Chain A
Amino acid sequence: MTNYSLLPFNFRLLPDNEVLISNLANMYHVLPAKADLENLIKDIGSLNDDVISKLEQKLFLYSQDDFETKVQLTASAFTKRINKDLSSPRLIMIVPTLRCDHHCSYCQVSRVNQDLSGFDLPLSSIPALINFIKKIESPPYKIEFQGGEPLLAFEFIQEFYNQMLLEVERDDFTIIIATSLSLLNDEILNWCRGKPINFSTSIDAGIKAHNRHRKLITKNSFELTQKGIKAIEKKLGKGKVGTVTTVTHQGLSGWNELVDTHLELGLSEMFVRPVSSYGFAIPKQAKDITIAEFMVFYRNLILRVFEDNKKGIPIVEHFLFIHYKRLMNAKDGMYVDLMAPAGYAKNSVLIDYTGNIFGSDEARMVYRKYGFDNLVLGNINDHNMTLDTGFSEEILSQSFNFDIPGCADCVYQGSCGSDPIYHIQEFGEPIGNKAFSRFCQLHKSVFDFVIELLKDDSNRLVLEGWMNE
Chain B
Amino acid sequence: MNEPLRKDSFYNESLIGIFGPVQLIKRLDQSIHPLLPKLYLNCATDTKVGSHHLNDANIERWSKHGDVGYADGKGKIRIVLSQLANANTLLVTEQCDNLCLFCSQPPKNINDEILFSYAAQSIIAFNSDKMIGISGGEPLLKKNHILNFFKNLNQFKNKTPLHILSNGRAFKDKDFVDNFYRLNKDRRVLVGVPVYGTNSQSHDILVSSKGAWSETIAGLINAGNQGIEIEIRIIPTQLNYKEISSIVELVLTCCNHITRISIMNLEQMGWAKKNWSELYIEPRYYQDELVKSCEMGKRFGIDISLFNYPLCHIPDRIHKYARKSISDWKNAFEDKCDFCVLKPECGGFFTSIKDKWINPKERII
Contacts and interface: CB of A to CB of B under 8 A. Distances in A.
A83 to B, nearest CB: 8
A56 B242 CA distance: 13
Contact of B213 (A26, A69, A77, A467): A69
A407 B201 CA distance: 35
Interface residues of A, number: 30
A310 interface: no
A403 interface: no
Interface string A426-467: 000000000000000000000000000000000000001001
A68 B253 contact: no
Contacts of A54: 246
A328 B214 CA distance: 25
B295 A76 contact: no
Given A63-B199, A65-B200, A72-B221, A467 B214 contact: no
A454 B295 CA distance: 16
Contacts of A58: 246, 249-250
A66 B200 contact: yes
Nearest to B246: A57
A87 to B, nearest CB: 11
A56 B200 CA distance: 11
Interface stretch (A135-143, A195-203, A249-257, A329-337): A329-337
A177 interface: no
A25 B300 contact: no
Contacts of A330: 299-301
Contacts of B246: 54, 57-58
User: Secondary structure at chain B's binding surface: helix, strand, loop or mixed?
Assistant: helix
A58 B200 CA distance: 14
A57 B200 contact: no
Nearest to A78: B254
A468 B256 CA distance: 22
Contacts of A66: 199-200, 213-214
A25 B199 contact: no
Contacts of A464: 295
Given A57-B243, A63-B199, A69-B214, A331 B254 contact: no
Contact of B253 (A56, A329, A467, A469): A329
B120 interface: no
Interface string B276-305: 000000000000000000010011111000
A57 B250 contact: yes
A72 B242 CA distance: 24
A136 B270 CA distance: 56
Nearest to B302: A331
B254 A25 contact: yes
A66 B299 CA distance: 27
Given A69-B213, A72-B218, A468 B199 contact: no
Contacts of A227: none
B254 A56 contact: no
Contact of A468 (B218, B249, B254, B295): B295
A411 interface: no
A27 interface: yes
Contacts of B256: 76, 80
B135 interface: no
Interface in A57-86: 57-59, 63, 65-66, 68-69, 72-74, 76-77, 80
Contacts of B250: 57-59, 73
Contacts of A69: 200, 213-214, 217-218
B122 interface: no
A332 B246 CA distance: 21
B223 to A, nearest CB: 12
Contacts of B253: 25-27, 77, 80, 329
Interface in B222-268: 225, 242-243, 246, 249-250, 253-256
Nearest to B198: A57
B89 to A, nearest CB: 30
A162 B272 CA distance: 64
Nearest to B292: A464
A157 B21 CA distance: 64
Nearest to B247: A57
A58 B243 CA distance: 11
Given A57-B246, A77-B253, A80-B256, A328 B299 contact: yes
Given A57-B250, A468-B295, A72 B198 contact: no
A331 B218 contact: no
Contacts of B243: 53, 57
A77 B299 contact: no
B217 A73 contact: yes
Interface string A38-68: 0000000000000001101111000101101
Contacts of A328: 299
Closest 9 CB pairs of A and B: A331-B301, A57-B246, A77-B254, A57-B198, A69-B214, A73-B254, A468-B298, A76-B254, A69-B217
16 contacts: A53-B242, A57-B198, A59-B250, A65-B214, A66-B199, A66-B213, A66-B214, A69-B217, A72-B218, A73-B250, A74-B254, A76-B254, A76-B255, A80-B255, A330-B300, A331-B299
Given A27-B249, A468-B298, 15 more contacts: A57-B199, A58-B249, A63-B201, A66-B199, A68-B214, A69-B200, A69-B213, A69-B218, A72-B221, A73-B250, A76-B255, A80-B255, A330-B299, A330-B301, A332-B301
